[in-house]
Amino acid sequence: MICWNMAGAYGYKRDRHASAWQWLNEQDADVALLQEVVPHPERLGPWGSVVFRGKYKQHGCAVLVKAGGYRAWEPTDQQPGLTRVRGAAAIARPDEEGGLWFISVHSDAASFEEINRAYPTWYADLPPREQIPRSSASAMWEIEPVVAELRPVLNGARFVLGGDLNSARMFDTGDRGENARLFDNLHAQGYIDTRPRHSPEEVQTYFKKRTRPLQLDHVFADAATETSVRSWSVRREVAEQLGLSDHAPIEMVIA
């Protein structure tokens, strides 16, 4: 499995994105969770199932499954927050009972409140948030309604959820600790981080120049699936040497 922000949002260049698609298809991955991806139809042939959800303009989130057998799951009135931020997650439901669900997530770096200040009315009509665990008493990020409202849907199912959360423990300073609280809230809701058994510390996935060595990309699973993760690594050469994105892919092997 590969989880990767392909950098198709800002400064999109078709040739570079085509090279990123070529690299992805050469890896012979069974599953890909992609963010900031622009679908190139000519590159989708190897994938039996493609679930894409547009976010802004032409890019969005996608789940690709080589063997097929997946279809898009759409939120309903029971998930008003997820419906409102629909483009933040591509959700692939297995046709086979008991199969793994796959969710690709892109959570903006800014909170709803910050976005709404910059773009008035963008998130002015958000649904009630009282039942959503939040890392901040005064703000909320896209990832929070996504995981909270998916939790009942995924109850008892095996799943993998991953993507660019624009969050890292390294961001925390002083006594704020909002990023740590985000990860604690995820764990409490049954989203188990797949990294800690393979690396006790966060591993850099973001390689933009003059930035700290941040891990902005993360992959979570239910408890049973997390124990089946045999390896977890960051393919940093994709960002550092090949320059295909400012994010490096996370590569996992699940038994």
pTM over 0.85: yes
Cβ proximity of 188 and 220 under 8 Å: no
User: In this predicted model, what pLDDT tens digit does every residue of 59-109 receive, in sequence order?
Assistant: 999 999 999 999 999 999 999 999 999 899 999 999 999 999 999 999 999
Q: What is the mean pLDDT of residues 124-129?
A: 83
Whether the predicted pLDDT of 174 surpasses 70: no
Q: Which of 134-138, 173-177, 245-249 has the highest mean pLDDT?
A: 245-249
Mean pLDDT value across the chain: 95
Distance (Å, whole) CA 147 – CA 142? 9
Tokens of 107: 């959570």
Distance (Å, whole) CA 51 – CA 55? 13
Burial 119-138 (b: 16+ CB within 10 A, else e): eeeebeebeeeeebbbbeee
